[in-house]
Amino acid sequence: MQYQAVVRKFGPAEEVVGIERAELPPLARDKVRVRLLARSINPSDIITISGAYAGRSTLPFIPGFEAFGVVEECGEEVCGPSPGLRVLPVRSAGGWQEFKDTDPNWCLRVPDALSDFEAATSYVNPMTAWLMLHQKIGLKSGMSIAINAAASSIGSILIGMANAVGVEPIAIVRSEASLARLRGRLEAVIIDKAENDLAAGLAGRHGLDAVLDCVGGPRASVLADALKPGGLFLHYGLLSGESIPPAFWASHPDIAFSYCHLREWVHSEAIDDVQRAYSEVAAQIAAGVIATEVREVFPLERVGEALRAALPFRTGGKVLLA
C-alpha cells in the first residue's frame, strides 16, 4: 500500500487534491520503481490541476512534476539503473505519491553531493533558468538583462547563474519585503509597486539584450521598451494572471519574442543531452552558485495543508512534501 495525492476533477488545488491509499501494482518488465523521498510544489503543478492543460491530462491523475527518490526495484528487462541509485524521474507527472513506476531511460542521475531537499528542487526552476540563459539567450559576460519577480525562487537562481558568467542583472521586485530577499550582484533594483514605477526605473535604459518575464500583463510593454533592436523578450510565466496585451507585438516589431517551457524542451531532446544539462545545474547547486530556499516541509498525507502553505507563490521559499 502507498499514499497517493489524487486529482479526480479539475479546480483549485486546495479543493480538488485528495489523499488516498492504493495497492502497488506489479512492476512492468521494462520499468523501474522509484521510492520517492521529497517532492516540490510548483506553479506548473497548480496550473495542471486547475485544468488549464486538460487536453494532456486524463482524470484521475497524480500530480507532481518534480520529485526525488531512489530506485527501489527494476523490471526484468531493465539494464542500467540499479536499486539504490538516486534519481529524478522526469517527463511525466506522478511525483505526489510514495512510489512511482517509470521509464528507466528518463531517470536523471542525482549526484551524492546534493541533499535530498536540494535534489527535490534541482529540476524545474534550475533547469528552466539554465534553458533560458544558456540555450535561449546564449548568456555571456557583458550582456545586459532584466529579470522580474527577481526575489522568487527562480529569480534568485537566474541571478546566481548570471553572476557566474559575470553578468549583473537589473532586478525588478514588487515590495520592500521582496527587496530584502534579493541575493547576488545586481546592476540595479527597481521596486515596481505603483503604475509608473517600472517605467521610471527603466528610464534611460534602452539597450537591454534580454528581458526575462514571468509576470505578463501590461507591464510587458514597458519592459520591451527597454530592449535594444533585436533584443530578446523571453516570456515564461503569468504571475499577474493577465496575458500580454495584443498590442504588445504591433508596438514592438523590432524585438525577438520567445516563450520558454521546460516541458517542451525536455520532450524534444535526447536523454543524454538533458542529463548533461542537469549535471551542469547540479554542479552549480553543489558549489553553492545557486540555491533554493525551503520554507516548509509536510508529509505527503498532509498535502492539503502543504498546498495552503505554498499558495500564493509570491511568498519566498519552496514548500516540499517529504
Give yes or no: residues 178 and 113 share one domain.
Answer: no
| Count: domains in the chain | 2
Same structural domain for residues 95 and 208? no
Host domain of residue 307: 2-122+292-321
For residues 86 and 43, give the distance between their C-alpha atoms in angstroms, rounded to a whole number.
25
Segment 14-52, tens digit of pLDDT: 999 999 999 999 999 999 999 999 999 998 899 899 998
E-state strands within 260-303: 294-298
- Does 134 share its domain with 173? yes
Both 109 and 14 in a single domain?
yes
- On whether the CB atoms of residues 60 and 6 are closer than 8 A, the answer is yes
Residues 165, 234 within the same domain: yes
Contact of 219 with 248, CB cutoff 8 Å: no
The pLDDT score that the predictor gives to residue 315 is 65
Residues 102 and 160 in one domain: no
Residues 17 and 106 in one domain: yes
Q: Are residues 59 and 114 in the same domain?
A: yes
Q: Concatenated DSSP letters for 11-73?
A: S-HHHHEEEEEEPPPPPPTT-EEEEEEEEE--HHHHHHHHTTTGGG-PSSB---S-EEEEEEE
* Residue 279 and residue 118 in contact, taking contact as beta carbons nearer than 8 Å: no
251 plus 151 within the same structural domain = yes
Tell me the C-alpha distance between 124 and 109, whole Å.
15
pLDDT for residue 236: 94
User: pTM for this structure?
Assistant: 0.94
Q: Does residue 279 sit within a domain?
A: no
**Residue pLDDT, tens place only, 52-82:** 877 778 999 999 999 999 999 999 999 988 9
Identify whether 36 is part of a domain.
yes
Q: Are 36 and 87 in contact (CB under 8 A)?
A: no
Q: Which three cell numbers stand for residue 257?
A: 519574442
Q: Give the C-alpha distances (Å, rounded to integers) separating 278 from 91, 144, 203.
A: 14, 25, 38
CATH of residue 188 = 3.40.50.720
Neighbours of 142 (CB within 10 A): 8
Q: Is residue 285 part of a domain?
A: no
256 plus 183 within the same structural domain: yes
**CATH at residue 57:** 3.90.180.10
The x, y and z cell numbers of residue 150, run together, are 527577481
Residues 256 and 137 in one domain: yes
Evaluate whether residue 231 is within a structural domain.
Answer: yes
Q: Cβ–Cβ contacts within 10 Å for residue 194, how many?
A: 8
Residue ranges in the chain modelled with pLDDT below 70: 314-315
DSSP 3-state of 208: strand
